[in-house]
A and B are shown apart, each in its own frame.
Chain A
Amino acid sequence: EAQVTQNPRYLITVTGKKLTVTCSQNMNHEYMSWYRQDPGLGLRQIYYSMNVEVTDKGDVPEGYKVSRKEKRNFPLILESPSPNQTSLYFCASSLEGARGRGYTFGSGTRLTVV
């Protein structure tokens, strides 16, 4: 089944403890992206990658890192999480920048930082 898989689905952590949220897609998509969703603010792009080794900042990149060493994986790294990073996170992928077939989203990761 074609899908974007995120792990973990739920995570509670403490301030300052480094964590990684994994994202993997099995559709051979070039383009991958991370979004966070917050009440009243909607979905906002954190980082995106147009292909292997090519990443760039979205609208809210502060406090996050990403890497794209392989086409299928695009992990989101929080080096020193803070409570304002408590949010629902989504990974998405698309073929050729989504101009043809649109985006496929993962099921989300609900992160709580205490």
Chain B
Amino acid sequence: KQEVTQIPAALSVPEGENLVLNCSFTDSAIYNLQWFRQDPGKGLTSLLLIQSSQREQTSGRLNASLDKSSGRSTLYIAASQPGDSATYLCAVLTGANSKLTFGKGITLSVRP
């Protein structure tokens, strides 16, 4: 059974800091990995999607990497801003039923 882990559960950093959010998964037989952002009580916004054959994807200040063989992904946020404060969720797609398995998320707080 696929399990996705995100540690730590919460992170607080000062504005301007570069930071890395980690995600690990137990079954490397994935189709892709998706990073989402969720603001409190709100929906999920897709940030980046990495296919299993890719190593990384970039969008603006965000860069996500994937090491499928070791079961790891990182989300790099450059020059963090207070507006980046949110919960970041990692999810992997596996199986014939195209199931998304989520980590429990990392709640990020960027202090002005």
The answer to whether B42 touches A107 (Cβ under 8 A) is yes
Q: What 19 additional pairs, Cβ within 8 angstroms, besides A43-B89, A90-B43?
A: A35-B100, A42-B89, A48-B97, A48-B98, A56-B97, A58-B99, A97-B97, A98-B93, A98-B98, A98-B100, A102-B34, A103-B34, A103-B100, A104-B46, A105-B45, A105-B46, A106-B43, A107-B43, A108-B42
Closest to A48 in B: B97
CA separation between A102 and B89, bound complex, in Å? 14
Interface residues of A, Cβ cutoff 8 Å to B: 31, 33, 35, 40-43, 45, 48, 50, 56, 58, 88, 90, 92, 94, 97-99, 101-108, 110
What total of A-B pairs shows CB separation below 8 Å?
62
Looking at chain B, what size class is its interface with the partner chain? 20 to 34
The answer to whether A99 touches B93 (Cβ under 8 A) is yes
Q: Does B102 contact A (CB under 8 A)?
A: yes
Q: Which A residues are in CB contact (< 8 Å) with B49?
A: 101-102
Interface residues of B in 1-57 (CB under 8 A from A): 31-32, 34, 36, 41-46, 49
Interface residues of B, Cβ cutoff 8 Å to A: 31-32, 34, 36, 41-46, 49, 89, 91, 93, 97-100, 102-105
Q: Is the interface of B mostly helix, strand, loop or mixed?
A: strand
A90 → chain B closest CB, angstroms: 7
A39 → chain B closest CB, angstroms: 9
Q: Is the interface of A mostly helix, strand, loop or mixed?
A: strand
